Structure 1
Amino acid sequence: MPALKCGNQIIECEGIIFDKDGTLIDSFKIWPALIKNRVKILQREIGFDKEMVQLLEKAMGLKEGDVIRRSPIVVGSREQTAAAMATLLFVYCGIPWDVGMEKANMALDLCDKEMGLVSQAIPISGVPKTLKNLYEAGFKLAVATNDDMERTHALMKYAGLAPYIHAYACRNEVERSKPAPDLIYLICRRLGLEAGQCIMVGDSLLDIQMGINAGVYMTVGVLTGASRKEEIDGISDMIIQDISGMQPGF
């Protein structure tokens, strides 16, 4: 079993499960433009005033140019983000909620096409080298994300991270999203491992809770995304600044 140096500890594990956004991909750098473009597309399709623009941006998680931690785009699934948009369209524009969901999902899909996924595939500094080192040391690496499978594969490919990933589990493949353990259970089946042979690495409290609920060997919180240290301190088994704090222990 390969040894992992994580922070100042040496850990024996076989699988390392990573969250994607805020852990591997520098989503906080991407999300402001993504949110603004989604709203522009909706405005083009429906037509509404500046106040509604600001409400929709905030509903997704953007306020005065900054992404709000633990907002829908940060900790929610794509479907949940669309639902937040559709609810505002229902309350303020009188658009039936099911029609609003269609419009919101259309805006999300069209935004990806107009912006291109390549522009959104920005790895956090140090991530490519760290994954390469862990992969070559014999760890089985996986990604558990609230994003959908097609988008996840594309982003990981364009970010240059796909060659190091053995398995994925995405929101559209399981019944329950984080913090339920479903994503980890699916990954473990694909890796041929038990949850207790794996560690879970993520930037949000939901990632840590998912790992705990699944019974992983250890949870590791990183400070590159959704959660501040004080939010996961005492809940996560270990906290490191970013995943470059994880290296083969040999």
Structure 2
Amino acid sequence: MPELIVNNGSYAINGILMDKDGTLLDFVSMWGSWSEHMLRHFGRQLVAELRQSGRARQLESGLEPGQELLFTESHLWGTVHGPDGAVIDYDRNGPLAMGTMGELFTLLTWRGYHSGLSWAKAKELAELSGRLAAAELERARPVRPIAGVLAFLEACHAQHIPLGVVTADDTLAAEKHLEWLGIRHLFGAVVGTDQVGRGKPFPDMLELACGKLSIDVQGAAVIGDTNGDMIMGQAAGARLCIGLHSKQAGAAELLPDADYIIGAYDELRLKGAAE
């Protein structure tokens, strides 16, 4: 059985299950872009609707219609915005990092309702904004691999280590993003939150993915960038839960349930079964 070596600890493993966003692909380049599109479209539609009813003043302060929503709604999804409104960081344990698409849409719908729209109208605007943001994402394909991940995946593939993806994203979207990166073929299983009754931090996705890979979850390693990934792994009884966080300051507080925390993939080494 191959061994995964981290911080001088060596662990025999039968497979590796990985989160997608923030673990395989750069989170901000992908979901920061999507969030900007989503909030911009929703904000503009929200202001337009409120203007018709004479209730738009609380959202306007001389900015372009909808722009203030982008600047002031960071707390909705746990995003951090720069002066120009661009997403520059995110809360690893916030809604955008850990929530499902359905949950994010519900938060945006609530924002519309809280501003004075009916729940039905707010849902319509959120759904329309989602379609527009998805179309822009499809055109731009703003995906970038996490530094070092491609070499690590290829090393796993060379050692014939089964690999799987467990993500809060929907399965079809996740597979498309992996295709954009050119790495879909390296994974024997891709499990999105739409395949299970309970998503992260519950163990259901991990157990399902291990079943698809025909491996025992007790021998699998889990790699993720949120504590929800770590809780999922611990709940399923995974062999090892590794948290990935490039900013080591405060990482222990953000990933308290990780067995190990690494700042980059070059901190992991593989040892073949025959070595």
Residues in 2 aligned to 1:234 and 1:149: alpha-carbon distance in whole angstroms: 28
Q: Is the 8 A contact 1:23 1:243 kept in 2?
A: no
Q: Deviations over 1:135-194 (max 9, x none)?
A: 110110011000001110010111122121111111111101111001011101101112
1:82 aligned residue: 105
2:40 aligned residue: 40
The correspondence of residues 149-188 of structure 1 with structure 2, limited to 5 A, is 149-188=171-210
57-66 or 197-206, which deviates more:
57-66
1:68 aligned residue: 90
Identity of aligned residues (%): 23
Query: Is 1:95 aligned with 2:118?
Result: yes
200-209 or 4-13, which deviates more:
4-13
Q: Is the 8 A contact 1:24 1:124 kept in 2?
A: yes
Shift of residue 240, structure 1, vs aligned partner: 1.2
1:123 aligned residue: 145
Residues in 2 aligned to 1:140 and 1:222: alpha-carbon distance in whole angstroms: 20
Q: Is the 8 A contact 2:77 2:94 kept in 1?
A: yes
Residues in 1 aligned to 2:261 and 2:232: alpha-carbon distance in whole angstroms: 16
1:17 aligned residue: 17
Shift of residue 118, structure 1, vs aligned partner: 5.7
1:210 aligned residue: 232
Q: TM-score, normalised by structure 2?
A: 0.82
Q: Would the alpha carbon gap of residues 197 and 118 (structure 1) be closer, same or farther in structure 2, given more than 3 Å must change? A: farther
Q: Would the alpha carbon gap of residues 189 and 171 (structure 1) be closer, same or farther in structure 2, given more than 3 Å must change? A: same
Residues in 2 aligned to 1:146 and 1:167: alpha-carbon distance in whole angstroms: 14
Shift of residue 232, structure 1, vs aligned partner: 4.8
Q: Where does structure 1 differ by over 6 angstroms across 4 or more consecutive aligned residues?
A: none
Q: Supply the AA of the counterpart residue of 1:116.
A: E
Runs (5+) with no aligned partner, structure 2: 49-58, 60-66, 83-87
117-126 or 148-157, which deviates more:
117-126
How many aligned positions are there?
Answer: 248
Residues in 1 aligned to 2:139 and 2:268: alpha-carbon distance in whole angstroms: 28
Residues in 2 aligned to 1:100 and 1:56: alpha-carbon distance in whole angstroms: 16
Q: Deviations over 1:211-237 (max 9, x none)?
A: 001111111111148x94222565211
Counterpart of 1:81 in 2: which secondary structure? helix
Counterpart of 2:241 in 1: which secondary structure? strand
Runs (5+) with no aligned partner, structure 1: none
Q: Is the 8 A contact 1:19 1:145 kept in 2?
A: yes
8-17 or 63-72, which deviates more:
63-72
Counterpart of 2:141 in 1: which secondary structure? helix
Shift of residue 127, structure 1, vs aligned partner: 0.9
Q: Is the 8 A contact 2:100 2:169 kept in 1?
A: yes
Q: Supply the AA of the counterpart residue of 2:205.
A: L
Counterpart of 1:47 in 2: which secondary structure? helix
Residues in 2 aligned to 1:13 and 1:102: alpha-carbon distance in whole angstroms: 47
Which structure has the larger Rg over C-alpha atoms? 2
Residues in 1 aligned to 2:77 and 2:139: alpha-carbon distance in whole angstroms: 19
Q: Would the alpha carbon gap of residues 107 and 213 (structure 1) be closer, same or farther in structure 2, given more than 3 Å must change? A: same
Q: Supply the AA of the counterpart residue of 1:100.
A: A
Q: Supply the AA of the counterpart residue of 2:116.
A: C
